[in-house]
Amino acid sequence: MLSVGLTGGIGAGKSEVSRLLVSYGAVLIDADKIAREVVEPGTPGLAAVVDAFGPEILTADGTLDRPKLGSIVFSDADRLARLNAIVHPLVGARSRQLERAAEADAVVVHDVPLLTENNLAALYDVVVVVDASPKTQLDRLVRQRGMPESEARSRMAAQATREQRLAIADLVIDNDGPLEDLEPRVREVWTELTRRAARTARRPDAGV
């Protein structure tokens, strides 16, 4: 089994890369999805978030008010770090549980938006970075997602820089161009990942 950490800045196109990798046969473990699950009503995760940020980050029905929490943490690095310190260990534990269920020759892709920020590169056999220029990221967030430019810039600034992400990359997928250029690049990376997974599965210590 090959454990792959997939990351990229907001607006870089990581979700589309994940979709393509799954279509080729990858097992996807989506950190964002798990992060939502670990703070559902009644979970210890939600209780810890409320304790840290106050009951005002809940909606009337007791669920997490994500836009409100986002407006608090994305403009305050200390509060963002506090939130990550609560959620990340819970996400990590669930991710490891799902990974252990994968086949011996599987390519398990961990979609982790904050892989760089949380210094998680060492947890994976391979780190794949989806790369786009800050100009392209901003354009996609504003034009495609309809995000106000000030909010887009704030969210980008709260993440690692392009240079920091590229510094930890084993493989880079350039997604600075049109969507139709992306698939061939992802296919090349998939070929390399399956080659590495097969080699890992053949190791005498595989699965130990």
Domains detected in the chain: 2-202 (3.40.50.300)
Q: Is the pLDDT of residue 208 over 60?
A: no
Cα–Cα nearest to 83, from 121, 125, 54: 54
Is the pTM for the entire model greater than 0.85?
Answer: no
Rg (CA), the chain: 18
Reduced DSSP (H G I as helix, E B as strand, rest coil) percent helix, strand, coil of the chain, to 5: 55, 15, 30
- Write down the pLDDT at residue 96: 87
82: confidence class by pLDDT, cuts 50, 70, 90? very high
Cα–Cα nearest to 31, from 82, 74, 91: 91
**Average pLDDT score, the chain:** 92
- Write down the pLDDT at residue 104: 84
